[in-house]
Structure 1
């Protein structure tokens, strides 16, 4: 199955100041004793009071090697400190590989333990610890694809988020997202029918089974179970901070129509904190109509939206 279904590249680099050194000295562990690996990048010679939290998509790669976060999306707030958090079982020792839908060296611990719920808990623990240090006055979240869902979950569960941005995060139900992707990537109607029936059967099995050993698209039972059971509208309904939802109209990984429907539902719920910014010609990977990168325009628009909040 396509691991690219929920994938946005957002990455990391290191330039330490006193604040970054403070974060690098943090030793944070999960309830099972495993370490949470974090990176903090300072972008300004001044001590920052803003924390920009960048949340990658669903691929099995180290955020430490993902240049799009450090070199581009970090510029959403160029004077903020940038925080990224590795997924369970992944460190910078894992080589960068985007050559296929699965990573040839994807760690078993990641496949078994990773899920949006796990990632959300790791981010909340990390940000809470940094906030307790008294350095950061404002916290901003930017997440893409699966990272958009995680950003929404963090915002829904906490009161420390100043504003958040969800990029190409899709609609309400993940099953619908998968079926949409199958429809737009199948070579024939026969293949679409076969893949649709096969995945629907798989989804029913996961939803009606106790945990079992599974590796599909570099994801295990915990990830698939959570994704298939989640309702993103319910998550968004609990977000009260200013939220910008960005969606490309040419996205074949998640359904732009489902996002439109979700935005309409949020309006019915009087969620006036939500701003919707569609890009009709943009793909899931932020490419424009002619294949040019739309990342710069998206970043500029995010900066303009954030400026209006001040």
Structure 2
């Protein structure tokens, strides 16, 4: 019962309607770097303009980070169609998860049978953050002329962005949405309560989940299992992770956006996370609660609002970049339509 619940719960990742990639292939350059164990980090750099522009020209870079699904970042339409709206004149960096490249066709199946076993058992948010850090440190010489670097991600991608902000200098800002609270357990239990109306069934599923959680937390040796498309390494990292400690060491300003209708992570836990952070680092965090949006940033009518939220976040970004000479016009602040009458930006 618990495993069936997790399959349904953790499938609420940031995968939107299945559309083809929106970028022409001539603007995509694919590279690879070696990890210390000899495996490849595959990444894609998508130019905001034609390939013929001056490589020495200063440009901005947007690092877009997908959720927990087993898909190629290059084949994820939301990253290019919606997240790029945060900085449409920037170049876009997409780093694949371990064991995945662009040959993996798009699927919205959370436990797809063809997910590479390397991704299932070796991919973790921390691994992803280390890979992105390695990529940013190892760009080809012709691609290093970026005047600013911004990371954006939702769900697990938001956690990766936070880890990246903790680990490296050089990021100018990060935008996180629907990241979850300080403890992943709170988010799982929130999702259980939102999706299991029967009290007795909820009690049974929660009990089984807590047994699984305790088993992973106290294990001294890696365990062989696959739950909701993830193996021991992913679960162990999520069980032990404290997002408050990660954000406490943030080096760049953070915009944290949370949908009030989110049933996959707990808005209440996110609110507690924000309050705790503001006691220690009030200068680092801006918080926006958007009451009518859900985990995928859909509104109450079922309309995808991610693009508009990203355009609204561009206003915050313009104010927080350390360099402001790019001349980018973020347009109208479209996020204002989703706020409460009094914004809860803190």
Per the normalisation by structure 2, the TM-score is: 0.83
2:233 aligns with 222
- Report the CA distance shift for 1:27/1:300 in structure 2 as closer, same or farther (over 3 A): closer
Alignment RMSD: 1.9
Structure 2 residue aligned with 1:304, among 305, 310, 315?
315
Asked if the contact 1:12–1:69 (Cα under 8 Å) also holds between the matched residues in 2, the reply is no
Q: Structure 1, residues 112-131: CA drift from partner, whole Å, max 9, x if none?
A: 10111111110000011128
Q: Please, which runs of 5 or more residues in structure 2 have no aligned partner?
A: 1-5, 325-346
1:190 aligns with 2:195: no
The worse-fitting range, judged by mean Cα deviation, of 42-51 and 277-286 is 42-51
- Report the CA distance shift for 1:153/1:111 in structure 2 as closer, same or farther (over 3 A): same
Q: What secondary structure, in the 3-state scheme, does the structure 2 residue paired with 1:38 have?
A: strand
1:279 aligns with 290
2:275 aligns with 264
Q: Structure 1, residues 189-220: CA drift from partner, whole Å, max 9, x if none?
A: 12211110111100111111110211001100
Asked if the contact 1:5–1:253 (Cα under 8 Å) also holds between the matched residues in 2, the reply is no
The worse-fitting range, judged by mean Cα deviation, of 7-16 and 224-233 is 7-16
1:30 aligns with 2:35: yes
* Structure 1 residues 1-310: aligned runs within 5 Å: 1-2=6-7, 4=10, 7-9=13-15, 13-16=23-26, 21=29, 24=30, 26-45=31-50, 46=53, 47=57, 49-98=59-108, 100-130=109-139, 134-209=144-219, 210-309=221-320, 310=324
- Report the CA distance shift for 1:38/1:203 in structure 2 as closer, same or farther (over 3 A): same
The worse-fitting range, judged by mean Cα deviation, of 298-307 and 157-166 is 298-307
Count of aligned residue pairs for this structure pair: 304
2 CA distance for matches of 1:193 and 1:14?
A: 50
Q: What secondary structure, in the 3-state scheme, does the structure 1 residue paired with 2:92 have?
A: strand
2 CA distance for matches of 1:149 and 1:107?
A: 22
Q: Please, which runs of 5 or more residues in structure 1 have no aligned partner?
A: none
Asked if the contact 1:114–1:223 (Cα under 8 Å) also holds between the matched residues in 2, the reply is yes
